[in-house]
Structure 1
């Protein structure tokens, strides 16, 4: 089965450096096949047998190899294709990013998020993805990755729409 692994918060400064060549090699040593990476932000594509512990196993191997914890969000290729097709059209009038949640949030957490005024940003939760507009750039987001994680109570990692589409094209 084909998977996409999103590594959280790597290559964002002087620390938490992860070489994509080194990542590809490591994933290969774990028995994953067809390994590819896309840009330096920690996106890996690979084939593996379905395993409910795959994400945890990846996190353990990454932490051991790189020397720091690296949370991983996994999607199957089909889940990714669905995410790449289901951004609401009304959001695509502006730059969009997608927060990939580790799991679906609780309804009460979604209600709390809905009550927040994040204008001029707009967002939609579909499955375990939050699609959001980025009208003033990612540095000025009111609904940042940290805010989403805190309010929804679910870890997430964010990719811009161009990256989402590019990865979909590689599956």
Structure 2
């Protein structure tokens, strides 16, 4: 059995695609996920499953669409991949607000030109760095007013991403380690 985190893109954001985490847990358990734990309303779940990661994303997207009757992007990481993304975060500092530290988890590897595209959009106080399938951000003035935070990543860099702040990533790592 392998430990995974599933990050659901666009759930319960701005009043769209509203589902409860209880419903999400039911869907995951129906897809043979075991020891399912959800975290906050934005669509985060940790679980164990016997399938390899490359099959889990596609399988979960199909199960989600069948259960809820609409499609969302789901990004899945193993326990080791989540731990690696957490330790690779380059902008941590005790003087910085954890809520402004974000990691974007991508479905596909991030292209070589992604950083230059993102740096062109970044404004004062914003930092960005890409590593394989994650993009790390620091939003110096918060992500709410940022053009970078509102970017259509699938269109601009060729892969959708789903962002989580540092507190959420650390909590998900704690939950997956506890499975």
The answer to whether TM tops 0.5 is yes
1:12-161 equivalences under 5 Å are 12-51=13-52, 52-89=54-91, 93-94=95-96, 95-114=100-119, 116-120=120-124, 121-161=126-166
Cα distance in 1 for partners of 2:130, 2:169 equals 16
Compared CA separation, residues 150 and 25, structure 1 to 2 (3 A): same
CA RMSD of aligned residues (A): 1.8
1: distance between equivalents of 2:14 and 2:50?
34
Contact 1:91–1:132, Cα closer than 8 Å, also in 2: no
Shift of residue 38, structure 1, vs aligned partner: 0.6
For 2:94 and 2:62, the matched residues in 1 are separated by: 37
Q: Which deviates more from structure 2 when the two are superposed, residues 81-90 or residues 70-79? A: 81-90
- Number of equivalent positions: 170
- Is the Cα contact below 8 Å between 1:6 and 1:42 reproduced in 2? yes
Q: Is the 8 A contact 1:145 1:157 kept in 2?
A: no
When normalised by structure 2's length, the TM-score is 0.86
Alignment CA distance shift 1:132-1:89 (3 Å)? closer
Question: SS of the residue aligned with 1:47?
Answer: strand
Change (3 A) 1:113 1:146: closer
Question: Tell me, which stretches of 5 or more residues in structure 1 are unaligned?
Answer: none
1:6 corresponds in structure 2 to 7
Aligned to 2:36, the other structure's residue is in SS state strand
Q: 1:137 to 1:86 in 2, by over 3 A?
A: same
Contact 2:118 2:128 in 1 (8 A): no
Is 1:164–2:169 an aligned residue pair? yes
SS of the aligned residue for 2:151 comes to: helix
TM-score, length basis structure 1: 0.90
Distance 2:112 2:150 in 1: 19
Question: How much does 1:150 deviate?
Answer: 2.6
